[in-house]
Amino acid sequence: MPLSPMDNLDKISGVGEASIKKLEKLGIKNVHGLINHWPKRYVDFSNLNKIIDLSPGNVTIRVRITNPKTRYVRRGMNITEAFAYDDTSRVKILWFNQPYRAKSINSDIEYFLSGEYKLSNRNFSFINPALELVSDFPVNTARILPVYNLTEGIKSSDIRKYIKFVLTNMKVEDIFPKDFCNKYNLISADRAYHFIHFPENSDQIDEARYRYSFEEGFKLMLASSMNKNEIDLTDAHRVKFNLELAKKFIEHLPFKLTDDQRLAVWEIYKDIDKVHPMNRLVEGDVGSGKTLVAAMSALMPISEGKQVALMVPTEILAKQHARTFDRIYEPLGLDKEIALITSSTSKKEKESLISKIKSKEKLMIIGTHSLIEDYLQPDELALVIIDEQHRFGVEQRKKLLKKAKYQPHLLSLSATPIPRSLALTLFRDLSLSKIKTAPNKDKIINTKILSRSEYNRTVPEIMKLLKAGQQMFAVCPSIDSEKTKSVSQVSLEIIETYKDYKVATLHGRMKQEEKDKIMEDFLNKKIDILVSTTVIEVGVDVPNANIILIYSPRNFGLAQLHQLRGRVGRGEHPGFCYLINEDNEPSSRRLESIETYNDGFKLAEIDLDLRGPGQVYGVFQHGELDLNFFNFRDIKLIRTIEEAVALFMDKRYNIEDFELLNKEINDLKKITNLN
């Protein structure tokens, strides 16, 4: 029976229960996942050589094999030796810990043998080469071989074998119409799979990569463009700009707005004074004043008696925002409009707040995921503000937005800047405001990469800061892993090193109430040093915490390191960030860039270069999005894709006529839409 993309892995010949578990570790859950497990590189064994002509390097020979023998050299170690010969000469072969070779080799049969021909113990030989019967379609020898990301117990040869079975037994349907492929010089989906996994030459690899690059970019741009069309057809509350109120708000601020803040607020005011919903993202570096922009944005709807909801990822951040809004709204008498609802709000208080929200006694509603519960139905919700929007799943955001009669205006905030090239191509349905200049623009976090010995010499300086009453974060990539620095390990080290100070731990396995209590204690200076995982990455504002130690920094993304660094230096004292490079390896470009630059926008561009668009995009959105080929800097390709997208947007192709493409675009609309 032919295979289909959604078939389970056990339909593949040779894949049993043990193999399925290993493949699932690689994120491969079905047939579709397997054939979309892309090669990370290739090794060329396509040139067939005679033994007499061999030179060092990766080569393939067509041979017969004689005298395979296995000998045990010590416990747990055996060596299989044999000789390969053709009509010109012979060569020695060695396999380590592959005793089955001696029994499986037939001296009367010809084999393709591929491997590295190199000098070993003063003689040239092959060590652990691939061996395969001569055929017209070899899988693991005599061709350009793809090399895949693997896990323990799975080899690239296994992946190749499984994929060959699938492509032999499955009819690959194309998401694009044939004339569309011809118009844009795209090979068929079937050929693309064969060319990417079993190329005969480098030209085939290039053709497959172009097809997949075009396809990834096309689907994203079409989904984003369709989202924008839908937003433009939706009605929203029109919120008028009140100049006098804006002036009065600014007059009571204890500081001046930066030019970037003023521009962002003005762009928002213009957007919400329209009959179609705003979909704007304010991106600003850590400490750039996004919360103030949010507060000023909410001012206009509240002044008209309309409601605003601010949703944040953690309870402590919700309380933090509530305190901030209360303080800056108080001079205008608007502090009485604020309702804070979180999971820890008592039942009695929650019922009272819900009643006041329904009667519009409360217009500014701040909370965590509690805001999307069914009992909260704000009838006049004009604006939704989502802080750290990538922390929420798409369906969570949509559920909140659907609570009002009209589509609310949406303002998303993010401290993780989007690379410009990514924004121009992907977020086509999104308006962007950038806050590049922080109110305290001269304040820089002192960042240093330290070896273990350099860190030990820095401890006395850290002690002085702690003795002066300052606090410190120590961040680890894991909770209790033995492979990298963990909270359990580092907390013991910290307790031993900083004996006179109160130390606590924080990580994701703790209950939310426990995490909130620890953060409250840290905020209230009951804890001096907090050893944590990345749960402190976003939104934690502890003005007295000015030192952060980041252990095993190679395990963190560049944007993540910048976010973690942003947890310190938020008060009156300078901040210090120490990246403790335990393995003492030379610093990578990534670590050196975090040491060199404090500009999140600059780091975002470097991150795109180093990690690729797929991983970078994952920082902003949850969802099954996998970008492996699309190059955001390929201007020529982007122009071609824009032309192709226009064919569908202008209805010259009806997407509903193409079932597979329509399904994929609808799935992507959910993922790419910040709405």
- Alpha carbons 475 and 486: distance in angstroms, whole number: 9
User: Which pTM value belongs to this model?
Assistant: 0.74
Of 195 and 434, more confident: 195
Q: What is the pLDDT of residues 36-59, one digit of tens each?
A: 999 999 999 998 999 999 999 899
Which amino acid makes up residue 333? G
Tell me if 243-273+289-414 shares its fold with 446-597.
yes
Give the model's pLDDT for residue 536.
Answer: 80
| Residues 344-357 pLDDT 10s | 888 899 889 888 98
- Average pLDDT estimate for 430-437: 83
Strands of 497-544, DSSP E: 503-506, 529-532
> Which residues touch 360 (CB under 8 Å, ≥6 apart)?
305, 307, 379, 380
Residue 619 predicted with pLDDT over 60: no
Digit-coded pLDDT (tens) for 483-529:
788 899 999 999 999 999 999 999 888 887 788 889 889 989 999 99
3-state secondary structure 101-135: HHHHCCCCCCEEEEEEEEEECCEEEEECCEEEECC
pLDDT tens for residues 254-280? 888 999 999 999 999 999 999 988 988
The number of angstroms, rounded, from the C-alpha of 668 to the middle of its chain's C-alpha atoms is 16
Asked: is 243-273+289-414 a CATH 2.40.30.170 domain? The reply is no
Q: How far apart are CA 161 and CA 29, in angstroms?
A: 17
Q: Given phi > 0 = left and psi -120 to 50 = alpha, else beta, which region is 332?
A: alpha
Domain boundaries, the chain: 47-142, 243-273+289-414, 446-597
Reference 415, options 553, 601, 591; nearest CA is: 601
Q: Distance between CA atoms of 45 and 58, rounded to whole angstroms?
A: 6
SS3 content of the chain, % helix, strand, coil (to 5): 45, 20, 35
Q: Which distant-in-sequence residues (6+ apart) come within 8 Å of 355 by Cβ?
A: none
CA distances from 111 to 55, 86, 87, 129, 413 (A): 20, 10, 14, 12, 61
- Assigned superfamily of 47-142: Nucleic acid-binding proteins (2.40.50.140)
- Mean pLDDT, the chain, integer: 86
Answer yes or no: are the C-beta atoms of 278 and 271 closer than 8 Å.
yes
Report the alpha-carbon angle 48-50-55, nearest 5. Answer: 85
What topology does CATH give the domain 446-597? Rossmann fold (3.40.50)
